[in-house]
Structure 1
């Protein structure tokens, strides 16, 4: 990764953008579709998008692996969204494991919900169990500091 201009995948059109680091805090837009790249809101991943978002994003990317039948997952969803709003320079995404089992399988998720932190296509940390937004923010900030 180039620390000066990391890659960021657009959640709208899936184009990979190179964004100068100093512009990450200035709400950059996609060069292809002109939509915001960092929205401060989690976006839903699909079987077609999960691997690209994880592999191509060079900024910290937090993926919530969840299922529609999982009560703790449903309870954590608004907390995850609130945390995303507090950390707009971090990519927050969700993948529904009961809908996209094959796409989630390579990540060896053993319990739900599980948040996995990726950077430069590599897993750097994981956290299982439902957390309130302040603990999610604290966990993500600890990853950014390391």
Structure 2
């Protein structure tokens, strides 16, 4: 399973109302580091157990990037119970992403 593409239209349902923690990858197609992180994000999405992984293209959903103060990409934000609880900017290894989710 690949990471679900989320937009302004389904962000509330898929992220804020999620029963499980959600890691949101704010990314852009022109961003080299985002492309480097993509295989890790897709791998995590396929392995997700007790959490889910979604992606927000900042060019298509600029208002979400603005709302969550995403200043550079890639930015990963973990949401639990509708609240942003953890954030990481830049490319990080898979184990550090898992630590974000479990923190």
Q: TM-score, normalised by structure 2?
A: 0.87
Aligned residues: 103
Q: What is aligned with 1:69?
A: 30
More helix by share: 2
Structure 1 segments of 4+ aligned residues over 3 angstroms from their partners: none
* Residues 58, 121 of structure 1: 8 Å contact kept: no
State the shift of 1:75 in Å: 0.7
Structure 1 spans left out of the alignment, 5+ residues: 1-38
Query: What does 1:27-106 align with in structure 2 at a 5 Å threshold?
Result: 41-106=2-67
* Residues 65, 97 of structure 1: 8 Å contact kept: yes
The RMSD of aligned alpha carbons is: 1.6
Q: Which has the higher contact order (CA 8 A, sep 6+)?
A: 2
Structure-1 separation of matches of 2:44 and 2:15: 19
Report which of the two structures shows the higher radius of gyration computed on alpha carbons: 1
State the shift of 1:110 in Å: 1.4
